Amino acid sequence: MEFSAQSIQLVSSEDLATALGFASANDAFRGFCREKGITPVRRNPHYFDPKLVRVRLDQAQGLLALEPVSQTESLVGKRRARLARLPAS
């Protein structure tokens, strides 16, 4: 697998603010991001990771569980955890 810096795609704060309905990347936008847990890329406050933004927005809408699922957990482990959360019949 070849890694290329060109394959990394970030979204600028201005673009994200516009997409979320803000006039610009102002204090209201930054407060919204802080409230939702959307953080900029480390050491560069003007760019965001689109995957993190999507996850945080999904969590805010209740589309995802709030606890992160381990990337190394097997499919069987994920199924067992899901079944354990179901009510017993």
- Would you write out the chain's pLDDT as a tens digit for each of its 89 residues? 566 666 778 999 999 999 999 999 999 999 999 999 999 998 888 999 999 999 999 988 888 665 555 556 788 888 888 888 887 76
Residue at 22 is within a domain = yes
Q: Using CA atoms, how far apart are residues 50 and 33, in angstroms rounded to an integer? A: 13
Q: What is the pLDDT of residue 1?
A: 53
Quote the number of domains for the chain: 1
Residue at 18 is within a domain = yes
Residue at 1 is within a domain = no
Q: What is the pLDDT of residue 86?
A: 82
How do 11-12 and 47-48 pair as beta strands? antiparallel
Task: Note down the domain range covering 36.
Answer: 10-66
Residue at 76 is within a domain = no
Q: Using CA atoms, how far apart are residues 3 and 61, in angstroms rounded to an integer? A: 33
